[in-house]
Structure 1
């Protein structure tokens, strides 16, 4: 995956890892091997290798996935030709540390002479798929779009399967089992496995029997927001932030407008909701219009500092999804309290002094939002949010975390 532009969670993490290694060891000492063509702008040296051709991918699916030897995501990115080019590049570069991007690339790990071979797993995909299957059963109306960003790697012959609910549910159940097997084997083969979420790191440690020296969580390295005094508007104003074409954002906003926002308006008619994000799906603006002038679509906003600095709180009403939500961390960095569902808060500390409130029901979610209209309480949670960001996600904290993760280097 090309980390640039860093417009998605995993790309942000990969870009942060590159920045870390360049900062610690110099950009000339960092090299990126990418499967497939790349753009010209990149902060380090790059080697591109050929990706699998369609017939190679289909053969791997037939001989490896259908026989239970490898997950679909591994098979679709496996090719003897790709593996040979990667081995050739590593032989030429002779790296001290190799970081593989998830299981898809870690399958190419072998004898390299490197001091460390590390896999950045991102999420536990087996847990992600379990959540998708549970959500599909609980909310049959949701368009989960199971392929997500991986659709680009799937041959066109296989994509129609994901368009049929029964087809992708069956496929996802099989893939969950195969991916879990790969996740459990990989940490025993490499020196270390890294995840974005500490709860998922604990899960994998329990599944493999390995300690926290072999399986660790690492936070994303984000650009720290410019420090501005917070001036919440007099009328309670909430912000929903996210690309509206994504199924989990679309569903989260629709469900919020349907079951939570009416409760907020009944108690506080002055409340306003600012929706920041591009490309709303069909029907979303109509769903918002039912609430009159209390809801505003603002599209892309170049200066989030103003929007977040004047808001009462951020709304993160997600019913499905996976991984840490970077927009929550960004809000904390702006000292903005966040009200979230448990899924939206996954992997982020939501205890006392975190600035993050979790509502499990429409009533509790609305109650949290309304409680933050009190100026004193809002200021307390604002201070807690910024403190949370500073201790867990500020540059120095993240760099120290990466130092621990790559200590042997």
Structure 2
């Protein structure tokens, strides 16, 4: 960094962090808030691929072009077969974007460059490696491998691997990702290519950041002995409203929160309604489940309709305070996935007990003392939900949830971790 001078930072992404209505956006918005707090808005630059000028953006925004369809398909044809990039990297690559990035960096002259996942890391100029970091989010290779494993273990699983990346995929190619045989072939190929790109990033960048401690350790172990690596986990900045004491009085009311276009969320809700919810209703006929999240598929809508009045679809809710304040617990019934689940952090911040599978709780401290009950079998999951309807038990798990949030995910704790990760001093 420049001794005694102002420091400038560049973040490059294909994701607009606003509105913060998806987990990835929450993480990026947290980075923006941190750098704006530490450096001021003029010295923090956000380079948005496919973006448009936005007068209300909180830092300096630079709109870069989106790769044309022709350029994206050419990149797929030229890079995927040679192992130079994944499908997702290739669909976001073009020489035009590379030139626009170089010109923007020449004007800015940043002291720190941060590239959002391997999709943007492919644009980093190795000549400036000493000032470059890569935010890997989670390990895409493990995400795809988990989808394949889930398909083997659960015959009913329906995987839509594109999720919210579908906007970057040419329309004619999208059906391939949703048809089972080509889907599995694509997932196997993408998992192998992503692993290669992740390993390259670990060896290439000054520091690599993930949101999950376990994934950070596994990536470092994968490339051990191949060169110097610096891999670190950083918590996302989730800002629930000012804490208000919970008003739980024993009603068997539960809530699921999450973007329903994400494959692990849709599958988790469908599996929960099939495997766990009937048992809960048998034991607690008055039980209710509120599903909050946008982009619900037609199939999931039909599944919910067959549950009668015990389950409601409520779409996106801007303020979850009242919903979560009175609920018995958050349901996080995930059968596959990777990374760390922001919905769990949201619940911890509000003191809402969480009942999760082990997959969904990856990256968190678990147990009643930490606010997260873990159960992987349907009967055990139902038991955990039923026991949370005891107000005393609920209060104890709620206190554990708040304790974990304050020690790990509160603003001061997150910013202290970012100070170490980004080393602005």
Decide: shared fold, TM above 0.5: yes
Q: Distance in 1 between matches of 2:306 and 2:173?
A: 39
Does the CA contact (< 8 Å) of 1:205 and 1:212 recur in 2? no
Residues 21-45 of structure 1: CA deviation (Å, up to 9, x unaligned):
1100111110111212325131111
1:326 aligned onto 2:342: yes
Task: Please show how residues 4-15 of structure 1 align to structure 2 within 5 Å.
Answer: 4-15=18-29
Q: Distance in 2 between matches of 1:405 and 1:82?
A: 28
Secondary structure at the counterpart of residue 234 of structure 1: coil
Gaps of 5+ in 1: none
CA deviation after TM superposition for structure 1 residue 278, in Å: 4.1
Q: TM-score, normalised by structure 1?
A: 0.93
Secondary structure at the counterpart of residue 180 of structure 1: helix
The size of the alignment, in residue pairs, is 409
1:272 aligned onto 2:288: yes
1:187 aligned onto 2:193: no
Q: TM-score, normalised by structure 2?
A: 0.90
1:228 aligned onto 2:264: no
Task: Please show how residues 4-403 of structure 1 align to structure 2 within 5 Å.
Answer: 4-40=18-54, 41-111=56-126, 113=128, 116-209=131-224, 214-278=230-294, 280-282=296-298, 284=300, 287-288=303-304, 290-351=306-367, 353-403=369-419
Q: Distance in 1 between matches of 2:242 and 2:105?
A: 40
Q: Distance in 2 between matches of 1:72 and 1:82?
A: 17
Q: Distance in 2 between matches of 1:75 and 1:405?
A: 28
Q: 1:252 to 1:405 in 2, by over 3 A?
A: same
Gaps of 5+ in 2: 1-14
Secondary structure at the counterpart of residue 158 of structure 1: helix
Q: Distance in 1 between matches of 2:127 and 2:176?
A: 38
CA deviation after TM superposition for structure 1 residue 306, in Å: 1.3
Does the CA contact (< 8 Å) of 1:252 and 1:318 recur in 2? yes
